[in-house]
Amino acid sequence: MEDLNKYIRDLRHDFSQMQLNEEDMSHDPSLQFEKWFAQAVKSAVNEPNACVLSTATKEGKPSGRVVLFREFKDNQFGLFTNYNSRKGKELQENPFACLTFFWPELERQIRIEGLVEKSTQEASDKYFYSRPRTSRIGAWSSPQSNILKNREELEHLVTGFDKRYPDEDVPRPEFWGGYLLKVNYYEFWQGRPSRLHDRISYTLQEEGTWKIERLAP
């Protein structure tokens, strides 16, 4: 590509599929999320439960990565990971986080913010034991976010834990489990022509109700 920056500057896509009006929004953002998620599944969006999890250190240095959320109930998103990973360490220092969904097939984005806490051991066990054996072995084998000498080092760890737990009875590591993001803010974004997008936000109030507002694109 001769001029990457020119190519990037010239990229244009006008969003025109749908619009988003306040009167069409549910009073409960969890119901609105469920509606949009169901439409994403129906539209065969690739990995509809994939989202960017953004965290920050106690000094405010941010980082983000794509994760798969595995539970949603009562305005709480559940995900599972290695507690010793970079995101785990940052959530220990600073429990505020953000999830961002982008479904280009529907020209939609959802931003979700809230406070994160660890799931119960029972919830972590329930999900861990629902995973295939190979995934459970993988949880033991990966010192997530640590530096490896090479791929062979990781494969050696997998081989070792595969021998250590030769049957289906692979226990959950203490360093692996769930988090719950308890939502206090949603933003639903619908792409519109000329970059004049629709943005509707829900902000949790002290009395437990949600304030619904339109934001400038």
**Catalytic site residue from 192, 195, 199, 214:** 195
User: Do 128 and 172 form a contact (C-beta atoms < 8 A)?
Assistant: yes
Strand ranges for 13-125 from DSSP E? 50-56, 62-68, 71-73, 76-82, 96-103, 108-118
Can you tell me the distance from the alpha carbon of 61 to that of 57, in angstroms, rounded to the nearest whole number? 5
User: Do 204 and 186 form a contact (C-beta atoms < 8 A)?
Assistant: no
Can you tell me the distance from the alpha carbon of 187 to that of 180, in angstroms, rounded to the nearest whole number? 19
Catalytic status, residue 195: yes
Residues with catalytic roles: 195
